[in-house]
């Protein structure tokens, strides 16, 4: 379970019920954890979770908010740098080669750029990335298995996103390509960069999440990803409770 200020994307619980039944007491504690701060409880429900979770959430008034697909790129021998991961460089016909920079702990200026660009497709226009929000991303950068990345081309930031690499599993998340650089292969190239990085770290499988029908899915399929399962995002509405992003 993650919790920040009301409305933030981290206000959600994931991975519940994957190791057996979920008790009524645990679900009541989960609800109280969020509602005590004026936040609408939100759970990402995996279809492989124990049935007790689905029954308990339904009994407590949770309703479906949206769906999300999880895609994976398998490799029995593990991901390798020779596994046809890299797309042609440079991206586009007349562009300089894209350069990927990893945000280092303490580099507040680059972190701010990475957050504002990568999150721009997931938050409303004018969203305030205050200190509480930045603290979450700062902690992510400090994790040894997590990277926030910024892509540069022609001296300009063209995209930003993130990845986790903790063998045997790696994960991609949160890439946004700036408007004028879209439809030029930037997102697919960043998928390739992260796959190659995960391979170098020793990961055997890579996953990526996205809403059904989004461009992320088309790029994932081109890169050899397969659909693993669809998660259901459920929430417990309540008067005065703030829904998260």
Residue pLDDT, tens place only, 213-239: 888 888 888 888 999 999 999 999 999
> Is the CATH number 3.90.1170.30 carried by domain 76-203?
no
* 3-state SS assignment for residue 180: helix
pLDDT higher for 89 or 146?
146
pLDDT tens figures, 59-83: 999 999 999 999 998 765 566 655 5
Domain boundaries, the chain: 1-69+229-245, 76-203
Give the pTM.
Answer: 0.84
pLDDT tens figures, 90-140: 455 555 678 899 999 999 999 999 999 998 888 778 777 888 889 989 999
Q: Provide the 10 A C-beta neighbour count for residue 48.
A: 10
Is residue 208 predicted with pLDDT exceeding 80? Answer: yes
């Amino acid at each position: 379970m993650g919790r920040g200020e009301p409305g933030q994307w981290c206000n959600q619980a994931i991975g519940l019920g994957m190791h057996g039944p979920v008790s009524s007491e645990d679900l009541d504690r989960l609800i109280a954890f969020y509602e005590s701060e004026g936040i609408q409880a939100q759970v990402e429900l995996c279809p492989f979770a124990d049935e007790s979770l689905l029954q308990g959430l339904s009994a407590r008034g949770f309703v479906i908010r949206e769906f999300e697909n999880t895609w994976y790129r398998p490799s029995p021998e593990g991901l390798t740098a020779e596994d046809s991961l890299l797309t042609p460089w440079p991206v586009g016909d007349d562009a300089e080669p894209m350069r990927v920079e990893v945000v280092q702990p303490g580099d507040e200026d680059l972190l701010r750029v990475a957050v504002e660009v990568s999150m721009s497709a997931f938050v409303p226009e004018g969203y305030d990335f205050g200190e509480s929000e930045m603290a979450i991303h700062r902690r992510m950068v400090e994790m040894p298995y997590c990277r926030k990345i910024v892509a540069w081309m022609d001296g300009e930031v063209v995209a930003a996103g993130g990845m986790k690499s903790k063998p045997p599993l790696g994960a991609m998340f949160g890439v946004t390509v700036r408007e004028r650089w879209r439809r030029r292969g930037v997102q697919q190239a960043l998928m390739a960069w992260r796959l190659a990085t995960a391979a170098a770290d020793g990961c055997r499988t890579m996953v990526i999440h996205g809403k059904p029908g989004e461009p992320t899915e088309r790029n994932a399929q081109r890169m050899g990803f397969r659909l693993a399962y669809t998660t259901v995002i459920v929430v417990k509405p309540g008067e005065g409770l703030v829904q998260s992003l």
